[in-house]
Structure 1
Amino acid sequence: MANPETRVMPGRGPEAAPAPITVILNAAAGARDKAAIGRRLAALFRDHGVAAEIHLIERGAEAAGWARRAVAAGTGVVVAGGGDGTVSSVAAVLAGTSVPLGVLPLGTFNYFARNLGIPLDLEDAVHTLVHGRVISVNLGELNGRLFVNTSSLGLHSRILTEAERYKARLGRRRWVAVVSGIRTVLQPHPLFSIRLGVGATVTAYRTPLVFVGNNRLQAAQFDQRAGTCLDAGQLSLYVMHPVGRWGLLRLVLKALFRRAADSPGLDLLCLQEGWIETPRRILSVSLDGEVVPMRSPLHYRVRPAALRVIVPAGEAGAVPPE
């Protein structure tokens, strides 16, 4: 494309006609200087001869609004620049549309990008956006809200809530998540009662944790059997047995340090659609790391091939190293 125009714009309102690629860059994600990354992105897109409009936003909550405006304006690609929360917000807008999602993995863990083999290096990620191919991926849905990676309730939601408190004081670094996770697990943790319905089967549990996975890489940190469900186009749902705090600590440490292992303390169900009912009417549930209030019963289902994503043009399935 001759004379490509690349603009780095603050996220305060659309100020120009949309370009073929719209980049939503979350300044709050990760620990890097997003203004400097924005300038570098502008140069990288120019080098590829591609017109891109880069919007620097200050809060992840703004991402969905910018994605909706981009789709309405007819942009060709919407790129989420940030962590999994930013990716999830943009993906929920693009689901069911013909507009593909591009990813610049700039967060702490980047599970979505790593699971699809999207490079973590900025220059390689831009190359993928320009020269990659588009595939369709499944999404999970909970009570009408979409998620790309995981949903959970119980202990995992408490770990995420505490991690956000630590990160607000100490920064969004991996070691902060590890320390806060260990501290939370060593505190007393309540069990809660659930009734889990899958088809005509209803099972009662007392558990500290329910974890629903749509991402092989992240779900496998809890249990290596995750691929059994995901390969069949289903969600992997784990229910934890009541265990002592040291058993919990071992499992959480394996997850935090990415050491996948089969766990005898977890029941696994493959889920196309199902529901979870609890005595409590309102529950704190995590969706891709964001803890939100949800009304019981919780209705989970798969949205098959709901999202189009740009991935590297070569072989699929490789997870880039860190």
Structure 2
Amino acid sequence: MAVDAPDAFSASTPLFIVANAGSGHDAADDTRAAMTKVFTAAGRSHEFVLIEKGGDVVAAAQDAVERARAVRGAVIAAGGDGTISAVAQQAADSGVLFGIVPLGTFNYFARVHGVPQDAAAAARALLTATPQPTQVGCVNNRSFLVNASLGLYPELLEDREAYKQRYGRSRLVALVSGLRSLLREQRQLHLEFGIDGEIRRIKTPTLFVGNNRLQLERVGLDDAAALDDGHLVAVHPRPIGALAMLGLTLRGALGRLGDADQVQSLVFRELEVRPRRWARRRIKVGIDGEIVWMRLPLRFRAKPGALQFLMPAPAARAAVE
């Protein structure tokens, strides 16, 4: 698909905001009200494209992107990492300007770019933002902003979502669900890596491909700087049991994962991953917190500058925490 050159971003650029629909006193209603107040006070043309409960975020993102393209507008994702990633994919494919109002639990993409975590402050930051070409990762035909993974990590995501549905969304709930998952017996993946014409064979409980410098730095991986040079970073532990995996998780929480002998990492621009011990055609992949089934082999690649991200002006940026 041909991508047009990005439009300039100015006070006359209309905004099309993809957001979850609320219900009366729902927090989503309060968030939209806060954004509306900011944009109305600034005289900024804006329109919400709502994701109804149980609705399709991809369809809403496509709708918003088409509306933005028709009037040289910008599309804004208001939500967590999954919503932001889904809207970013459509924006990157079309060349439309893309901004965010982060509403999730971890918000790694927002934090690494200094986007304020408060909805009103993030909306104000959009008013003076500047388009900046930003890298996305890609696995097969799906883009990701933060990470993509297979094996244990997608299982952790599924367990975390189940716990959140039952106990609410918080980092404590995410931690408890993760510990429970880690203590189960770990299934091992037998994989082949194809990189630079070379085949490497590995056995691991999980493969993690990172595209977010902050997330990699926080767990203590020195390869995080490679993202700035148009690379992605693949991380995988050697075959280990549940208690050893728990130990690695604690190391990561202390920012010392890179010192662990059981952990290996690989910096790459393109990487093909295929199973070598079973004849399955599809595999479960975690992409920015969402679970999808993808056809094998998996082809990962970095796409530097693929997304025209609306970066907050220095004075509007939040400190990276």
- For the criterion TM > 0.5, the same-fold answer is yes
Q: Aligned AA for 1:106? A: L
- Preserved CA contact (<8 Å) 1:212 1:238: yes
Distance, in Å, in 1 between the alignment partners of 2:56 and 2:254 is: 31
Give yes or no for the alignment of 1:247 onto 2:244.
Answer: yes
> Which residue is equivalent to 1:313?
313
Correspondence 1:1-322 to 2 at 5 A = 20-27=14-21, 33-59=27-53, 62-73=56-67, 74-75=70-71, 76-255=73-252, 257=253, 259=255, 261-262=257-258, 263-278=260-275, 279=278, 280-314=280-314, 319-321=319-321
Distance, in Å, in 2 between the alignment partners of 1:205 and 1:213 is: 18
Greater fraction helix: 2
- Preserved CA contact (<8 Å) 1:95 1:308: yes
Displacement of 1:121 in angstroms is 1.8
- Preserved CA contact (<8 Å) 1:64 1:90: yes
Tell me which stretches of 4 or more aligned residues in structure 1 moved more than 6 Å: 315-318
Distance 1:246 1:200, change over 3 A: same
Displacement of 1:60 in angstroms is 7.6
Distance, in Å, in 2 between the alignment partners of 1:249 and 1:272 is: 30
Aligned pairs, number: 299
Q: Aligned AA for 2:121? A: D
Q: CA RMSD in A?
A: 2.2
Distance 1:317 1:234, change over 3 A: farther
Residues 273-305 of structure 1: CA deviation (Å, up to 9, x unaligned): 111110333211111111111222111111221
- Preserved CA contact (<8 Å) 2:34 2:120: no
Distance, in Å, in 2 between the alignment partners of 1:186 and 1:287 is: 23
- Preserved CA contact (<8 Å) 2:232 2:269: yes
SS at match of 1:231: helix
Distance 1:98 1:193, change over 3 A: closer
SS at match of 1:95: helix
> Which residue is equivalent to 2:9?
none
Identity of aligned residues (%): 35
Q: Aligned AA for 2:303? A: R
- Preserved CA contact (<8 Å) 2:116 2:318: no
Of 283-292 and 58-67, more deviation after overlay is shown by 58-67
> Which residue is equivalent to 1:16?
none
Q: Aligned AA for 1:306? A: A
SS at match of 1:239: strand
Displacement of 1:61 in angstroms is 5.4
In structure 1, stretches of 5+ residues that fail to align are 1-18
- Preserved CA contact (<8 Å) 1:191 1:242: yes
Q: Aligned AA for 1:311? A: M
Distance 1:112 1:162, change over 3 A: same
Displacement of 1:167 in angstroms is 1.2
Q: Aligned AA for 1:43? A: K
Q: Aligned AA for 2:289? A: G
If the length of structure 1 is used for normalisation, what is the TM-score?
Answer: 0.86
